[in-house]
Amino acid sequence: MKTRRTWLKWGMLGMLITATSLTRAEDLGDINATADPSRLVPISVAGYTGEVDKTLRFDLEVAGFRLVSAETAQYNLNGKNNSDVEARLTDRISKASLLGKQYSGGSPRTQAHALADDVVMAIHKTPGIARTKIAYKGESGAHSEIFVADYDGFNPVALTKDNTICAAPTWVPGRRMVLYTSYRSGYPDIYSHDLSSGERRAVARYPGLNSSASVSPDGRRVAMILSKGGSPDLYVSDIDGSNLLQLTKTREDESSPCWSPDGSTICFVGRVNERRALYTVPSGGGTMTRLRTDGTLNPTEPDWSPDGKTIVFTSQMGGFSICTVPSKGGTAEVLVAGEDPSWAPNSRTVIFTKRARNKRILSLLDVPSKRVKDIAINLGNCSQPSWAK
């Protein structure tokens, strides 16, 4: 079944951030840091201890930085942590002060995540992802449940306790709500789950397969795969399941829908003469068009980057590989071994499933540099991650 995409603390929740002076200089160092996204930016981190130091270093490496000594770094991050976290970020080359802040309230991890996000904004000029959330499928024997956690795997919470098969979580953009498929009724049905209230509602309970929910960027519609017509086809409905519209009518199966950022187009997996390929179709109905993924075979599990430029997908060529292709199609690039890719809100980082140590684990991929950071916390056998946007 295709992946896609009690309760959580979003953002800082009571965390008070007291800002001191913050200046930004458009200097040569900054230009060099952002000109080549594949270049790992050298930064030194000093003065922090314990959980703050460990969390901060992990966040910065995921964000495309390389931790080096102060003498060889382009940027120096210095500070300390007791009950608060203090930080000063400078450009070693231009001597410019880029960031000066004190973070108080919340947990040490929350403070470190906030600092990491501010460093990313100061240098890359894009929002950080250290305080975002993920959903994923966790397995225990023959059963599986849907979990939610911080992006680095910490603070996992079981969203379902159905004691059956649950799969394919996907976030409703901008809301604390997840859709997924569960066999809790004995059949594969799609449910919505409000993380604030715990309320769960059926979105699709048609005869046969109801799977692969994917919510539109505006949060108003959901694409899904239903087999109620005899073959798994692509459908779109309102977020509550009403106003159902069938988009494909083929003899072979479709799977894995995802939306373009403007909501006008859906990319999905189709079969022609038993060969899988990526296709696109207008979300309001129309002709399906094949999307070229030259250089790869058997593409599945597409996910459209939030900036609209790139589609990440899984290719099966002897093993599973994470690949990217321009959103208009063309030559694909093979990145790393893995499956189940999902973009972060920054359109740079991808979370995916990696097979290691006789189980499946979640890993984070910095797409420009191809560097992989495994989620270190022991989450068990995990797959089908979905990044909240």
Residue-wise pLDDT for 74-95, tens only, equals: 999 999 999 999 999 999 999 9
What is residue 353's three-state secondary structure?
Answer: strand
**SS in 3 state form for 163-209?**
CCCEEEEEECCCCCEEEEEECCCCCCEEEEEECCCCCEEEEECCCCC
Distance CA 107, CA 183 (A): 37
Tokens encoding 318 = 């002897």
Other Cβ atoms closer than 10 A to 282: 14
Distance CA 326, CA 161 (A): 39
Quick one: pLDDT band at residue 192, thresholds 50, 70, 90?
Answer: very high
Distance CA 369, CA 216 (A): 29
Does the pLDDT of residue 170 top 60, yes or no? yes
Type of residue at 362: L
Nearest to 51 by CA among 112, 132, 122: 112
Does the pLDDT of residue 54 top 80, yes or no? yes
Whole-angstrom CA distances from 57 to 33, 92, 248, 295, 381 are 18, 19, 47, 36, 25
Quick one: pLDDT band at residue 35, thresholds 50, 70, 90?
Answer: low
pLDDT tens digits along 312-359: 999 998 899 999 999 999 999 999 999 999 999 999 999 999 998 788
Q: Which domains does the chain have, with CATH numbers?
A: 16-124 (3.30.160), 133-387 (2.120.10.30)
Residues 6+ apart with CB under 8 A from 2: 168, 211, 212, 225, 255, 256, 269, 300, 301
